[in-house]
Chain A
Amino acid sequence: EDKVVQSPLSLVVHEGDTVTLNCSYEVTNFRSLLWYKQEKKAPTFLFMLTSSGIEKKSGRLSSILDKKELFSILNITATQTGDSAVYLCAVWASNTGKLIFGQGTTLQVKP
């Protein structure tokens, strides 16, 4: 059965810290891996990764995919209180529209 597992499930840090969120997956017909940030309701898109070893970067956030070891990491440097949210990892398996999500990592950044 296809599955996506995130760790840790929750994390509390202080402003300025660097955090690493993990996502491992086991899916058939892997197409791509996505990271989303969910603050209140609608998940907002962060990154899509399709190729192994190529880092995607946006400001203080970066992510990389390892297709051999079947995992991805999301790094956030110099964290701010506005980074507090649930971070979701999801994987496209085949083209049936089935985006498989992990259970999310809840990040709390304290002032």
Chain B
Amino acid sequence: ETGVTQSPTHLIKTRGQQVTLRCSSQSGHNTVSWYQQALGQGPQFIFQYYREEENGRGNFPPRFSGLQFPNYSSELNVNALELDDSALYLCASSGARDSSYNEQFFGPGTRLTVL
């Protein structure tokens, strides 16, 4: 059973650029959630995808968008990057749309630095 994987590991961008982060969910999992973790803070929920449709969104502006593919892998896109977008971006997968009684398995994250 393969775990959650994310790419790239690290990324450096400049303000105004666009970025795409990728996540492959754990085998058999159809639900993917994305989180932003700023330095010294807990992860903040961005959005969740279930079977290719968005299933809940946190307080993030529309320039944060996502996609889930038929194989349940997912992308997080961020447009018009700002300095405050610098953070660790975590992807988590679970095996149910309603994950509230299930564990979420986290990937190793992508460290994004915006200069």
Contact = CB atoms under 8 A, between A and B. Distances in A.
Contact of A99 (B33, B50, B107): B33
B97 A95 contact: yes
Interface string B93-115: 00001111101111111010000
Contact of A42 (B97, B101, B107): B107
Contact of B104 (A6, A95, A99, A102): A99
B58 interface: yes
Contact of B90 (A43, A97, A104): A43
B41 interface: yes
Contact of A100 (B45, B97, B99, B107): B45
Contact of A92 (B35, B92, B100, B106): B100
Give the contact-size bracket for chain A.
20 to 34
Contacts of B33: 97, 99
Given A42-B108, A43-B90, A95-B98, A101 B103 contact: no
Interface string B11-48: 00000000000000000000101010000111111011
Interface string A42-71: 111100101000000000000000000000
Given A41-B108, A96-B55, A97-B48, A102 B42 contact: yes
B81 interface: no
Contacts of B8: none
A62 B70 CA distance: 39
B64 to A, nearest CB: 15
B88 interface: yes
A10 to B, nearest CB: 10
A95 B98 CA distance: 5
B91 to A, nearest CB: 9
